Amino acid sequence: MGKKKIITKTSDSENIKSGVTIKKSSKKARKVDLARIYINATYNNTFITVTDKQGNVLTWASAGSVGFSGPKKATPFAASKVVSIVSEKMKPFEIKDIEIYVKGIGSGRDSAIRSFANEGYNILLLKDVTPIPHNGPRPPKPRRV
């Protein structure tokens, strides 16, 4: 058998003397006046992303990340739970006014919008950005017999 290794704890003052620095992650959340909320409601999931005016992502959540699985992810109940999680993550930013951009045709889009209104945010803009085909795909070639 080999020697047993004994690890001794060092104090913070010894780490400073030896040149090792310990970084503490104490990020202060900046105050955001206006936030943009992007709701992507698909047949399989509901994604909510919160950004500032420039498009920098502040926080996000989805029904899958909250804990729903399978067909339960696309339900209105799951979308309302995602909104409650996102609004808890938004508290440090002190957001009052929001713009909501909705994309997709899932069943969670309406309940997500209602949940944001019930959370007490001022909704300044509500826009549907679902892509709509305007001329469709290229038609198939004529059949050669």
pLDDT band at 22 (very low <50, low <70, confident <90, very high): very low
Q: What is the pLDDT of residues 30-85, one digit of tens each?
A: 899 999 999 999 999 999 999 999 999 999 999 999 999 999 999 999 999 999 99
Asked whether residue 127 carries a pLDDT value surpassing 70, the answer given is yes
Residue count (the chain): 145
> What tokens were used for 37?
């909320």
At 145 the pLDDT is 87
Lowest mean pLDDT across 11-25, 44-58, 61-75, 125-139: 11-25
The tens digit of pLDDT for each residue in 90-123 reads 999 999 999 999 999 989 999 999 999 999 999 9
pLDDT of residue 12: 56
Query: What domains can be seen in the chain, in order of their start residue?
Result: 34-116 (3.30.420.80)
Tokens 């936030």 correspond to: 35
Please choose, from the candidates 120, 114, 121, 43, the residue with its C-alpha nearest in 3D space to the C-alpha of residue 75: 43
Task: List residues bridging with 100 in a β-sheet.
Answer: 37, 126
> Any idea which of 5-9, 21-25, 51-55, 95-99 has the lowest mean pLDDT?
21-25
CA 39 remoteness from chain centre: 9
Alpha-helical runs (H) found in 20-126: 63-66, 76-90, 109-118
pLDDT score for 28: 66
Give the separation between CA 60 and CA 89, rounded to whole angstroms: 8
Output the pLDDT for position 30.
Answer: 84
Which of these, 62, 121, 61, lies nearest to 89 by C-alpha position?
61
Phi, psi of 101 (to 5 degrees): -115, 120
Task: Give the C-alpha separation, 48 to 39, whole Å.
Answer: 5
Enumerate the H helices of the chain as residue ranges: 12-18, 63-66, 76-90, 109-118
What band does 24 get if pLDDT is binned at 50, 70 and 90? Answer: very low
pTM of this structure: 0.74
